[in-house]
Amino acid sequence: MSQAFFVSDIHIKTPEESNSEKLLLFLHGLENNGATHLFLVGDIFDLWIDHHSYFVDRYKKIVNAIRSLVNKGIEVHYFEGNHDLYLKSFWQQDVGVQVHDGPEFFNIDGQVVRVEHGDLMNPDDRGYLFLKKTLQSSPIKQLAKNLPSPIVRWVGERASQASRHYTSHQKSIEEEKAISFMHTYAQNEVQKRHFDFLITGHTHVRDIYQFSNQGQEVFSINLGSWFDDQRVGYLKNGEFIFIEVE
């Protein structure tokens, strides 16, 4: 029987901060608790771009902890967010994590689980959707890969600050609206391809929404962030709960 864990939007800025240490303890705990899957659902770091040595060296302990999970046979998936970009060249090729830049479907003990960062849920956010498309273009990816690490860090930190300010603004002023478009998105997407669980992050609004589709119960779950408290999602035997990280 599978035991799948889900976490997003930690926004780690330094390896010394409390949330970084809590993530490390959580990762080390997965090694011996029967975990089969770990889903990193985007914005784990407040900034990570490509394979630049600045990020690899800065977060070496977290990298090594995740590498250890992969080596123990735990299936680890990392979904690119809007703060962690172009991850395949390091996380997939060097660490062995499976990297995704869009929605993916998984069969976990007979349950269809769709996972994505969640930054495409709001169709009215045309500015961000345009930015996302631009960031995923080949020229921008090549530019990010070849720029010196200090320049990437400087540009990325400013983009990260702007993105964080925008997301925080969305949560504090439009939480009800965010919940509404998350629910509508789930209802629309399940019509295109069935899933039992839709698991997202990005909005920083933790939410569990249950609805019926053609007589079947469907769950839309947003993992929230680690700004207010530290919780991870846990899926086992078709039941999803949140677990607080001590």
DSSP secondary structure code for residue 12 in this structure: B
* Residue 10 to residue 208: CA distance in whole angstroms: 19
Question: In whole angstroms, how far apart are CA 87 and each of 50, 72, 120, 136, 168?
Answer: 5, 21, 19, 12, 24
Contact present, 124 and 82 (Cβ < 8 Å): no
* Residue 14 to residue 17: CA distance in whole angstroms: 6
pLDDT at 199: 98
pLDDT at 170: 47
pLDDT at 238: 94
**Residues of the chain scoring pLDDT < 50:** 129-130, 166, 169-173
Domain ranges of the chain: 4-102+122-174+223-244
CA 186, 219, 130 angle in degrees (round to 5)? 30
pLDDT at 137: 56
pLDDT tens-digit series, residues 25-76: 999 999 889 999 999 999 999 988 888 888 999 999 999 999 999 999 999 9
